Amino acid sequence: MDSAQATRLLHEIRDAVLAGERPPVAPRPVIDASWRRMFKLGADPDRHDCGALLEQDELEHRRRASALGQVLRTLVGSLSEIIEPSLQIMVVTDEEGRVLWRRGGLGGLRQSNGIRLEEGAAWSEHSTGTNAIGTALAVRRPVRVHSAEHFAHTLHTWTCAASPVHDPRDGRLLGVVDVSGPAAGFHPTTLALVTSIARLAESELRERHGRAIERLRSVAAPILCRLGRARALVVDTHGWTAAVTGMAPVDRLPLPKSFGAGPVLLPSLGLCTVEPLPGGWLVRVAEERRPASDAPSRVVLDLSGPRRRSIAVSGSAGSWTQELTPRHAELLYLLAVHRNGRSAAELAADVFGDPTRTVTVRAEMSRVRRHLSGVLAHRPYRFSEGVEVAVVGPEDPADLLPRSTAPAILSARCPPRT
């Protein structure tokens, strides 16, 4: 049937399903399953809600954290011939369905604003109902949603085709690439094209990873030569092996979430000493297995100077010092003065004055914990039990982290008088 007939039939199918009646033709399985999820959520078929747009600093943070930014030029270049002369737009989201980037002509961008398909908006199924972006994230495969297949009536004049993009290093879902536009004139081969572009992006990420491993291998070679017969290996930040000495090679070393410099107990190797390298880690295996009690026992947070921000960690297995970014210095100071711990919302209020900024806090704390293995715990975030914590501050409390604008730091500089 022609496009107009197909559109009318889709409306009849949707109307019948919403009314609890038998449709003239069963909806496609992927659409039927998505609609059922919408019924369970109690979604409103007469509207879609993309929620509040991300604030600009949160949007920029997500863009920097996303590996999809590395292949954005490939995605835009591959789809520019479709989106530029038409009313269609290209959208790239993160794994939560938040729109990170969009590209298109002025007409397409103007129309997409009308349905809030804009940067910072949420397009997961929970937020927007059945749509190609959210449904592709839900089912982890390419999806096209045409006209009345959208659960929300306000999207029936649109058609979208989306394909997930996975990180070839660990298989993690990075987000989706999507092409959306008016339902009339949307070419049926667009889904195949979008899927091919997503695979091309994954291929480029794989090639980038291979080049990064080669660079790390060139750094590792002279280091491992100096270690003689010691058992050691060099891995990237995802655990992929670049070089190994004194032991059987493995393709990938499983790394715990809280992995960083210092003594680390790895189930596959026992007690190891980890040292940072450009783009990865040097992992040296201890000759004798030591008990897990060799965990760090003392932490000194040095904030004594305007540009001096470091943390020194020591224990029976050794000691090391880590320089801190201004944000990490703020977070660790707050945990040092709140030994019972702070939730993500409490830290967000402490640092930003906004308890809803939990996504940014969790991302920063994840980075801190990767470098302070055995020192920090979470739920709530806190220094681990048994760790002695000392803070070396400036002589004048007013000089504490002088460039910080965090509300809790401002309060600490001017303690209330008794």
* pLDDT single digits (tens) 76-123: 888 877 777 778 899 999 999 999 999 988 888 899 999 999 999 999
130 compared with 78, residue with greater pLDDT: 130
- What torsion, rounded to 10 degrees, do the Cα atoms 267, 260, 331, 310 define? 140
Q: Work out the number of other CB atoms within 10 angstroms of the CB of residue 163.
A: 24
- What torsion, rounded to 10 degrees, do the Cα atoms 326, 329, 330, 333 define? -160
Report pLDDT for 100: 96
> What is the average per-residue pLDDT within 313-320?
64
Q: Residues 269-279: pLDDT tens digits?
A: 878 889 988 88
Q: Is the pLDDT of residue 206 over 90?
A: yes
Q: And the tokens for 174?
A: 């990075």
Environment class of 28 (CB within 10 Å of its CB; exposed 0-12, middle 13-18, buried 19+): middle
> What is the average per-residue pLDDT within 58-83?
89
Whole-number mean pLDDT of the chain?
87
Report pLDDT for 313: 78
Ranking 21-30, 184-193, 324-333 by mean pLDDT, the lowest is 184-193
Beta strands 241-245 and 232-236, pairing class: antiparallel
Q: Is the pLDDT of residue 292 over 70?
A: no
Burial 258-286 (b: 16+ CB within 10 A, else e): bbbbbbbbbeebebbbbeebeebbbbbbb
Residue with tokens 């190797």: 269
DSSP state of 252: B
Q: And the tokens for 320?
A: 């090391």
Per-residue pLDDT band for 318 (boundaries 50, 70, 90) equals low
* Structural contact between residues 122 and 98, judged by C-beta atoms closer than 8 angstroms: yes
- What torsion, rounded to 10 degrees, do the Cα atoms 62, 59, 177, 3 define? 160
Q: Residues 133-168: pLDDT tens digits?
A: 999 999 999 999 999 999 999 999 999 999 999 999
DSSP state of 26: P
CA-CA distances (angstroms) from residue 216 to 211, 222, 229? 9, 11, 21
Per-residue pLDDT band for 289 (boundaries 50, 70, 90) equals very low
> What is the average per-residue pLDDT within 248-272?
81
Most confident of 159-173, 306-320, 321-335: 159-173
> What is the average per-residue pLDDT within 202-229?
91
Report pLDDT for 83: 77
